[in-house]
Structure 1
């Protein structure tokens, strides 16, 4: 893997992780068509996700700080934050179970480009449906345990390449009657423990990385971090303007194009 390839893939990750178009699907397709691309295991992909998750930490630093200190205080606001923290932890349980159970199975699908393209079609359909039928008014104070479990399952299933993590989790909450910005914030915060766990599981791949390629890995993660910050800001605006269906059409177009190229 060259430095240029790493930065390019980092930009792809930074854009596709937060915009609901499946970063895993775009990475799988991009890596398939990059000549001479190789990586040990999925460590590079995990580092790219780590870069975008650092963007989440920076963008939502105030919310994260409030969640961290919420168990130590007893104001009404901190009680709300503590409840939100509990829902995030609850949602992480089904995600963890699905991820640990099917990790190797889903990782083996990254080379199945027709399947990845088909899952992009599924993502596009989900986005179109949720935008068509969304009518949410519930904010964070009205999120429930059922919301958390369902969105945790959606995040766990999004380990399949081509299924957008942000798209599936946000769509799940929108269809449950949660308003857009709340759905997006919960989706982004929920990704942190999942990506942290995936990073720990992939640490063993470090020993397979040649020392000379480490700068490329770090450059890719840095690119994902920088572009990710802009992508979060963009998606929050898109959510407010109710334009998710446009991303659904994009997923359909890319999925159909890749399927045609692989006939």
Structure 2
């Protein structure tokens, strides 16, 4: 692929991974709409590494506290808000991990259908708008109950449908459960860490099995551009979301979905 194609796709991944608008849908649709060739497994792995690095860097202090508290909860049975949050991230990842393995075994080619992406983009965009409009709670990610963790975890499994948006559906569930916009977003971003590791790991295994050697320059572009753009996106989103809410993203999703219906019906 041309270098500028790679830069654009890395930007798309970095800017959409953490916004409630579906990165997988955009990575499928952008090359298809522009007539570009498939970016390949190596590049997919690279942009996953970039976005993973971004979220880990942004939450590095909190992740360190969570890791220490989690270890303490096992070794000394010490309970704290940080250890409960760490366990919430772990248990909240189980549903999507199991669903992903089941989907991998059954085949997922049908999930790349533009009409399916258009449908999920509109439906879950409207659900996001509804959850934001009726938002009443102000709980943070440190005040999650086990019911919250189960519901958000099950919601996250729906994100295996392109167009749903992992960030979008987990934030929607968090808002419906009474979290603040910032609390729902922060928990969604923390949940992304094991999910990105799992998704990138599966793609990495596929890459090794394919026997295709990665191009060094493509890897650097993918990691660097997606990582920097994702880090800036996380910072900006968390700074603004409590003030602007989710409505702008819901509107964008609905407009995008209807545009896709127009193109592909």
| TM-score, normalization by structure 1 | 0.90
Q: Does 1:29 align with 2:34?
A: no
Match of 1:51 in 2: 50
Cα pair distance change 1:252/1:58, threshold 3 Å: same
> Is the contact made by 2:44 and 2:203 (CA closer than 8 Å) also made in structure 1?
no
Q: What is the alpha-carbon distance in structure 1 between the residues aligned to residue 92 and residue 112 of structure 2? A: 29
Cα deviation for residue 63 of structure 1 reads 0.5
Measured in 2, the distance between the counterparts of 1:33 and 1:140 equals: 38
Q: Residues 87-137 of structure 1, C-alpha deviation per residue, up to 9 Å, x if partnerless?
A: 111111112111111236574135311211111112211221111111112
CA distance in 1, matches of 2:66, 2:100: 25
Q: Note the C-alpha offset of 1:228.
A: 0.4
SS at match of 1:255: helix
Superposed displacement of residue 31, structure 1: 2.0
Shift of 1:162: 0.5
The alignment of Structure 1 onto Structure 2 pairs a total of residues equal to: 261
Superposed CA offset, 1:212-251 (max 9, x none): 7342233123211110011111211332114211111101
**1:143 aligned partner:** 144
Any residues of structure 2 matched to 1:160-239 within 5 Å, and which? Answer: 160-207=161-208, 208=210, 210-211=212-213, 213-239=215-241
CA distance in 2, matches of 1:209, 1:5: 24
- For residue 8 of structure 1, report the CA deviation from its aligned partner: 0.7
TM-score for both structures, normalised by structure 2: 0.90
Change (3 A) 1:225 1:260: same
TM-aligned CA distance change 1:43 to 1:100, over 3 Å: farther
Q: Structure 2: which 5+ residue stretches go unaligned?
A: none
Alignment partner, residue 64 of structure 1? 63
Structure-2 change in CA distance of 1:110 and 1:225 (3 Å): farther
Alignment of 1:81-92 (within 5 A): 81-92=82-93
* Aligned counterpart, 1:10: 10
Counterpart in 2 of 1:158?
159
SS of the equivalent of 1:158 reads helix
Distance 1:186 1:117 in 2: 27
Deviations 1:170-221 (A, max 9, x none): 1101100012222111111111111111222222332437547342233123
Residues 116 and 162 in structure 1, CA contact (< 8 A), matched pair in contact too: yes
Question: How many Å apart are 1:35 and its aligned residue?
Answer: 2.6
Assess if the C-alpha contact under 8 Å between 1:53 and 1:225 holds in 2. yes
Instruction: Report the CA distance between 1:39 and its aligned residue.
Output: 4.2
Secondary structure in 2 matching 1:161:
coil
- Structure 1 gaps of 5+ residues are none
Q: Equivalents in 2 of 1:67, 1:22: separation in Å?
A: 27
In the other structure, the counterpart of 2:261 is 259
8 A contact 1:109–1:161 mirrored in 2: no
Q: 1:32 to 1:160 in 2, by over 3 A?
A: same
Q: Distance in 1 between matches of 2:70 and 2:225?
A: 35
